[in-house]
Amino acid sequence: MRKRHRLATGLLCASSLLCWSLPGACRAAASTDARYTLANGCYALRTAGGRYVRSLGRGYAASTFAADQAEPFYLKPTALGSYLLYDHNGRFLAAGGLGIDAAAGASAAADWTVTSDAAGNFQLGLGSPSRQLAVTNLFGTLGVTARPSSFRFVAASGCAAFPEAGVNATGTPFQGHGVDRPVLGFADSHVHITATDFLGHAHAGRPFHPYGITQALGSCEDRHGVDGMRDVIGNFMTLGTPIATHDTTGWPTFRDWPSHQSLTHEQTYYKWLERAWRGGERLLVNFLVENQTLCELEAPLQGLKGFDCNEMDSVRTQVGQIHDLQDYVDAQEGGPGKGWFRIVTSPAEARDVINRGKLAVVLGIETSHLFDCAERNGVPACDRASIDRELDEFYGLGVRTVFPLHEFNNAYGGNGIFMPLIDLGNLIDTGALWRTYDCPVEPYLYGAGAPLPQLGNAAAPTSLAQWRQTADSAAPAGPNQCNQRTITDLGRYLVARLMARKMMIEIDHMELQMKSQVLDIAEAQTPVYPVMSGHGGHGGISMEQAQRIYNVGGLIFPYKGNGRGYAQFLPTLESLRNDKYYFGVGFGADTNGMAGQAAPRGGGQPVSYPFTLFQGGDWGSDFAGVQPVTFDQQRTGERSFDTDVDGFAHYGMMPDFVEEVRIEGGAAALGDLFHSAEAYLEMWERVENR
């Protein structure tokens, strides 16, 4: 898809019939390639000779008759410069066996690449010089040939509504106050938009599909099986049994998903992301994610023999996917660079994007085998040279932040224990179980380790570590067990190379002591080097460590709960702030990351729909001049979502979360939230400007 639109980019500007007949009417848009401005418009198709394309039941023909009898086509972009032509009966103009058909569904046969010539005419093709739309005889029969006919797109009415998720927002998204002022907006430091093929196709759905929402969020049966019974990982992680079931329908009913409890269904569809942006999100960190061990367990269940589960290969694929999404949004918004979704590689670029009122997207990596540094039976799968090589490669691909550790031990050190059952994965991945110790008894921001039952406890063991303790007749474990493995020589080398590359470093998922070891390294730099805890610690963060994070100019963004949980956590973080640095508190939603999302608050003042953001007594001086935006319940297909009923069912509930924060925390909480994008950028600048 990306190759196709890149070949189209840069062709000469063409004009619609209105501009052709009334040149003055479109003078302001003369520098814009008119192929892109057709996006999501309603048009009749007229040949250069004056014939209009008309519906003929099962197909179409070009005939001489009044323009008001022409078929109105809705032009839905599939990519930059390519369109589905969707007629008033909900069918698609498509190449068929004997000519041009009215197809019931979208396919490659209906995906028309539009080009233009110097005379302002358009040609429509199917990706091959021999497959061009043409009038093939005097009777106006349409077909595909090597000799294209020329057409004009004429503004029309009466188009059918193309299936799509609603944004359900009214108002203009705000822009920044200028490059010399702090940006305004909130930041999500942890999302997984590109989890489309995550865990060997355990994940169902995708953030977009060239042919629309019916395919992006259609039935999950192809991946999860009849009644969802093949969704082994999702069923087990959500409901505690691998043989649970769920309704697989998806569009348009969405009976069982998306849901705040569902772990294996798409929650970041692009229209839901757009609603979040309209609600004030201005910085998003998309972590490219994979887990090789779980992928290798799931892929055979999906019938994927020989599926590549290498984590870094998956990251390479996901870099392409996130750029495809940016291009797709551009196509919906009228051309290259026009979209609200912009991938950035520097804080200066992010500031520019945010000041133009768009969403800055930063790329990161969250895998257990960062730069292919797995470890098996104590033997690293990498060395310093391979670390340098892959660090250079992924920096060149735009990655600016990484997790050295994720779910399992690797060649850099030990993972933080937060879920005992992960020990089984650690055994499969590394060839060994965790060796543990009693976590220190001290004040914690995020609790360390996980509880393991005492010997003789009636509770059944919930991890292989517990089975090992019983079998070894070990002394009773403390209430929380931490991982004995800390930073390795390769881990120290990685941290040094990341700092030399001026990359942001995430310390969540590191073992508790390893977090302190990385902070030691950060404090020894001149100037000190910021580190980030972006989604809830994972493995524990003591209060002392939290203070050290703020003292090196880093940030702590909590795991995203509902608005009440966010507002209640703010005083703790405010007590740790270092006034040398700009203060703001975003969150890490971990959406699409095999992580449950925020449940409904329960009790208290409900969110009343419609609600309006950016106006009223709780919105302080930062919002002077910002236009209000009003949100109704988000609607996708036949289902509407209410945050007090559905919780954070999908990413489109972000404005509803903001309203929860207003209700629960008022002006002070809104201030901390909407300062979080600036806080993140200033931390990034401290990393870069050394």
Q: Report the CATH number that the domain containing residue 216 is assigned in CATH.
A: 3.20.20.140
Q: How many domains does the chain have?
A: 2
> Could you tell me which residues come within 8 angstroms of residue 611 by beta carbon, excluding any fewer than 6 positions away?
630, 631, 656, 659
Predicted confidence at residue 578, as pLDDT, reads 98
State how far Cα 328 lies from the chain centre. Answer: 13
71 shares its domain with 195: no
343 close to 326: Cβ distance less than 8 angstroms: yes
CA atoms within 13 A on the CB side of 675: 18
Per the domain annotation, does 294 fall within a domain? Answer: yes
| Six-digit token string for 109 | 């046969």
Per the domain annotation, does 470 fall within a domain? Answer: no
Q: Hey, is 506 helix, strand or coil?
A: strand
Q: Cα separation of 413 and 515, whole Å?
A: 10
Q: At 523, phi and psi to the nearest 5?
A: -70, -20
Provide the Cα torsion 637, 271, 218, 611; round to 10°.
-30
298 shares its domain with 409: yes
Predicted confidence at residue 7, as pLDDT, reads 32
Per the domain annotation, does 21 fall within a domain? Answer: yes
> Could you tell me which residues come within 8 angstroms of residue 524 by beta carbon, excluding any fewer than 6 positions away?
none
Predicted confidence at residue 56, as pLDDT, reads 87
Residue 479: asked if its preceding bond is cis (omega within 30°), the reply is no
23 shares its domain with 109: yes
Predicted confidence at residue 10, as pLDDT, reads 33
Predicted confidence at residue 64, as pLDDT, reads 79
Predicted confidence at residue 49, as pLDDT, reads 87
Q: What is the pLDDT of residues 277-336, one digit of tens each?
A: 999 999 999 999 999 999 998 899 888 988 999 999 999 999 999 999 999 999 999 999
21 shares its domain with 138: yes
Predicted confidence at residue 177, as pLDDT, reads 87
Domain limits at 150?
Answer: 2-155
Divide the 690 residues of the chain into consecutive groups of 10 and give the mean pLDDT of each group. Answer: 37 30 30 84 94 91 85 98 97 92 96 91 93 93 94 96 98 91 97 95 96 97 92 81 90 96 95 98 98 92 91 98 98 97 98 98 98 97 98 98 98 94 92 94 95 44 45 51 96 98 98 98 98 96 98 98 98 97 98 94 96 97 96 98 98 98 98 98 97
Per the domain annotation, does 303 fall within a domain? Answer: yes
Per the domain annotation, does 121 fall within a domain? Answer: yes
142 shares its domain with 198: no
101 shares its domain with 200: no
Of 597, 560, 537, the C-alpha closest to 673 is 560
Domain end call among 516, 544, 576 = 576
Q: At 471, phi and psi to the nearest 5?
A: -65, -35
Predicted confidence at residue 452, as pLDDT, reads 61
Per the domain annotation, does 357 fall within a domain? Answer: yes
Q: Cα separation of 594 and 596, whole Å?
A: 7
511 shares its domain with 565: yes
| Neighbouring-strand partners of residue 412 | none
Cα 51–Cα 53–Cα 55 angle in degrees, nearest 5: 140
Burial label for 163, CB within 10 Å (0-12, 13-18, 19+), is middle
> Could you tell me which residues come within 8 angstroms of residue 28 by beta carbon, excluding any fewer than 6 positions away?
none
Domain end call among 576, 610, 643 = 576
Domain end call among 155, 173, 206 = 155
170, containing H or E segment: strand 169-170
163 close to 655: Cβ distance less than 8 angstroms: no
Per the domain annotation, does 688 fall within a domain? Answer: no
Predicted confidence at residue 374, as pLDDT, reads 98
341 shares its domain with 387: yes
Predicted confidence at residue 589, as pLDDT, reads 97
HEC letters along 531-596:
CEECCCCCCCEEHHHHHHHHHCCCEECCECCCHHHHHHHHHHHHHHCCCCCCCCCCEECCECCCCC
199 shares its domain with 312: yes
- Measure the N-to-C terminal CA separation of the chain; round to a whole number of Å: 39
216 shares its domain with 118: no
Q: Which one-letter DSSP state was computed for residue 413?
A: B
Sign of torsion over alpha carbons 201, 202, 206, 209: positive
Per the domain annotation, does 103 fall within a domain? Answer: yes
Q: What is the pLDDT of residues 436-481, one digit of tens each?
A: 999 999 999 999 999 864 333 334 344 444 444 443 434 444 579 9
275 shares its domain with 383: yes
pTM: 0.92
CATH number, domain containing residue 116: 2.80.10.50
147 shares its domain with 279: no
